[in-house]
Amino acid sequence: MIGILWYIQMYTSSSTLTGLTYAVITGAALFSFLLSPLIDAYKPAKVAGFSLGSQAVFILLISLISPTDGWMLVVLIILVFLASVMSSVFYPADNALITKIVTRKEELNRANSLVSTTDQIVNMMGFLLAGSLISFLGSRNSFHIAFILILLSSILYLLLSKRLKKDERQIKFTVKNHFTDLRTALKFIKDNRYLRILLPFCALSNSVMAILIILLPSISMQHGSAFFYSFIYVSFFVGFLVGAVICNFIKSSGFYVAFAWLGNGVCLFPLVFFDNSSVFFVCIFSFGTFSGILNVNQITMIQSMTEENMMGRVMGALTTFNNVATPAGSIVGALLALVLPTNYIFLLCGLVLTACGCILLSNKYVINFQQREA
């Protein structure tokens, strides 16, 4: 994503078009739920492998396009959308795969912590490398390298799929039963009080995240370097890694989810008053730490409360619901960038996240919800 957003910003010099592109990327997550029965019908590792392989092909095609005119920009955005649809299938499949490998629910928190820690190390290395590649090789050659790496990842997932036994409880995928399978997942979520409470807050928070993300290329351009853009993400990933490690020493609960939400909002307030690179990176690091705590706790509790043969559909549905407001957030963020200074936007985002955290902390059911109850 860093390469695509930088690519658009570089060619168009428009935060608005960058925001619209991000809206397309995140809007593709809405397809996660529609395709999620495939995860429960086939091995999650196989679905993840095919998803990555498809993404690799679309990224290769993206590298062949220069968005120098309106038509090429439209084609580029269509390819970005298709790649993002495939990506929206990968993450629920990856989360479902963990429950196939880790059979004891009490080990899920440690497993998710380990997976998140590994992900952030790889992400951090990738974003550090991305800044260097974009600066020295250009965006197009960077896409070629991404194509090779994603294709290799696809092959590894497909090889892993061959080593995992097929679960006899897997559903059989048919077009006729497709919507029935989807309704089963929706009923599960509807009947789960914890998820009913949190889903609106997840959607609102993701829209705030979208607003923040589309500001980053513009902020980096002001500092005149793709390295600055990379280090923003590196700071976040290092913080996320720390948060994931902390989860090894705490028991998953709604209290930590709500507290992390509050922490995310508070981290943004210094950016309202200080225009300093060091303060910026410290705040992003702290934001990442709270995000890691929130993410690992949330995924662990969802996995604990969901039956394995429904895991893909539930994860897909939650991915869709969590991102339903993200495209709107991207568009709102693009419009805000036209009329408000950056520090005012940080203030607005901080207030929204802080309010979410305070409301959840005041809800006794949420803060008392434990993994064992899931």
Residues 6+ apart with CB under 8 A from 164: 43, 45, 100, 101
CATH number of the domain where residue 186 is located: 1.20.1250.20
Say which DSSP state 29 is in: G
Domain that holds residue 197: 2-367
Say which DSSP state 166 is in: P
Q: Is the residue at 374 inside a domain?
A: no
Q: Is the residue at 372 inside a domain?
A: no
| Count of the separate structural domains present in the chain | 1
Q: Is the residue at 64 inside a domain?
A: yes
- Helix spans in 249-307 (H): 254-268, 270-273, 277-305
Q: Is the residue at 333 inside a domain?
A: yes
Handedness of CA 228, 293, 258, 358 (dihedral sign): negative
What is the model's pTM?
0.71
Q: Is the residue at 102 inside a domain?
A: yes
Q: pLDDT tens track of the chain, all 374 residues?
A: 556 666 666 666 666 676 677 667 766 767 777 777 777 777 788 888 888 898 888 888 887 776 666 677 778 778 888 888 888 788 788 877 877 777 666 666 677 777 777 776 776 676 666 656 666 666 667 777 878 888 998 898 888 888 776 655 555 656 666 677 778 878 888 888 888 888 888 888 888 887 887 777 677 767 666 667 777 777 888 898 888 888 888 888 889 999 999 999 999 898 888 777 788 889 899 999 999 899 888 888 887 777 777 777 787 777 777 777 766 776 777 777 777 787 888 898 899 999 999 999 999 888 888 765 45
Q: Is the residue at 28 inside a domain?
A: yes
Handedness of CA 159, 160, 166, 170 (dihedral sign): negative
Of 147, 91, 151, the residue nearest 116 (C-alpha): 91
Q: Is the residue at 191 inside a domain?
A: yes
